Amino acid sequence: MRDRGLIITSVVENSIAGELGIQPGDVLLQVNGREIKDILDYQYLTADENVQLLVQKYNGEHWLLEIEKDYDESLGLAFRNGGWGATRRCGNKCIFCFVDQMPGEMRRTLYIKDDDYRLSFVQGNFITLTNVGAAELERIAQMRMSPLYISVHTTNPALRREIMGNPRAGQIMGQLRYLAEAGIEMHTQVVLCPGINDGPELNRTIGDLGELWPAVRSLAVVPVGLTTSRRGLYNLSTYDRQKARAVLQEVQRWQKVFMTGYQYPLVFASDEFYLLAGEPVPAAEDYGGFPQTENGVGLVRLFLDEWQQLADNLPRRLDTPVHYSLVTGTLAGPVLAPVVAELNRIAGLHLDLHVLENRFFGKTVTVAGLLTGQDLLQGLAGRDLGDRLFIPGVMLRDGDQVFLDDITPGEISSRLNVQVSPVDGPEELVCALGLRQ
């Protein structure tokens, strides 16, 4: 049975490690006398001019190696699973968890819930800190894992324990203060549930997090997402126009407070709240540099501004008439409709906008990124789609050319008899339409 450490899978030829005789199958146990837990430890501890390695050879021998190198010179090692080891799983039982609401017939990996502070640092994943103890907080501070992305939801300890179904959830403000004092920057979010953590509770949460500026760099307020697969789960409701407007009023009030005190708005409502409320999204300068676009904050403004820059330079006509289609979800329909109308003023261009209701997750799920291949097949069947169907790139999973239900664009193309092309943003759409080179 081997000691703990990172299993070496490859060694770069003529590298420092290669010249020392380290081989695939060996195990890196320690660097500079410290046990190696993962790739972050390795990168942090080997960023030095003098490095000591403790390596367990494949035959069980232990080698202690002293190395002199340039500060940023690589040792030439690669590790099993990239050196990450096991991903920390989520131990919460949040009343609004989207994974718990997914239909049961989807790919197994989609049901995995991670809550790993390392992935928050490296990939921007949101974490809850409920599985982070004093030792992990110290490691985060020592290794300067900044910024982190943290799901707060509420700063009321009792309410957070209830919302997240975890007795450790009430420690959040102490954890955030520790990280703030250590100089760790944090982007935070609140998933807002009507009648639960909005109203006075949201007011408290925004105020508490605002006191941690400038360590807390942003707070995104996003509405809860509910599917039709909620049998046996907590009874939650969605936001309507009136409730969405109330949330916006609270957010805008706090933005004025923070602009006065910090010259920065700090708290931002997601685009979905503006669209639900039927209100225009703020100007670009009101988004503070767009710190949370991945959370749906400011994407509509970026889209509209990019479109406006392109619209002034579009041709008046096409040499060869074309007929194409564009599909989106119900939330973005009102945003895209005037854009498509303007494009259709170009002589020879016929672009149809198809706004689809989500049948897979339910009509309360309105974002385009959660439309599945089945939604497209059912919603577009029998329609004249022209020669090409443009889909938002967010419909396809990161790194995979498949929809959430594992249907591929090729299958959509074959069954609907139309070429399918993913596009991201106005510029890609305009280029794909042949309106500019």
**Residue 365 one-letter amino acid:** V
164 in the same domain as 66 = no
Is residue 189 a part of any domain in this protein?
Answer: yes
pLDDT by residue (tens digit) across 264-279?
999 999 999 999 999 9
Is residue 281 a part of any domain in this protein?
Answer: yes
339 in the same domain as 230 = no
Q: Does the pLDDT at position 399 exceed 90?
A: no
Mean pLDDT on 123-144: 96
4 pLDDT tier (thresholds 50, 70, 90): confident
pTM above 0.85, yes or no: yes
237 in the same domain as 210 = yes
Is residue 151 a part of any domain in this protein?
Answer: yes
pLDDT by residue (tens digit) across 318-361?
999 999 999 999 999 999 999 999 999 999 999 999 999 999 99
Beta-carbon contacts of 386 under 8 Å, excluding residues fewer than 6 positions away, are 322, 323, 324, 325, 350, 352, 418
231 in the same domain as 153 = yes
User: Helices (DSSP H) in 298-402: which residue ranges?
Assistant: 299-311, 333-343, 373-380
Range from 86-95, 167-176, 322-331 carrying the lowest mean pLDDT: 86-95
Beta-carbon contacts of 146 under 8 Å, excluding residues fewer than 6 positions away, are 121, 183, 184, 185
340 in the same domain as 272 = no
Provide the residue range defining the domain that includes 57: 6-83
Q: What are the backbone dihedrals phi and psi of residue 39, each rounded to the nearest 5 degrees, phi first?
A: -65, -30
End-to-end CA distance of the chain: 61
DSSP secondary structure letter of residue 41: H
> In the listed set 83, 113, 148, which residue is the last one of a domain according to the structure?
83
pLDDT by residue (tens digit) across 26-77?
999 999 999 999 999 999 999 999 999 999 998 899 999 999 999 889 999 9
Instruction: Indicate which CATH number applies to the domain containing 149.
Output: 3.80.30.10
Is residue 163 a part of any domain in this protein?
Answer: yes
Is residue 190 a part of any domain in this protein?
Answer: yes
Q: Does the pLDDT at position 258 exceed 90?
A: yes
62 in the same domain as 113 = no
Instruction: Indicate which CATH number applies to the domain containing 66.
Output: 2.30.42.10
300: which 2 tokens? 């509509």
Is residue 437 a part of any domain in this protein?
Answer: no
Q: What is the pLDDT of residue 437?
A: 55
Is residue 63 a part of any domain in this protein?
Answer: yes
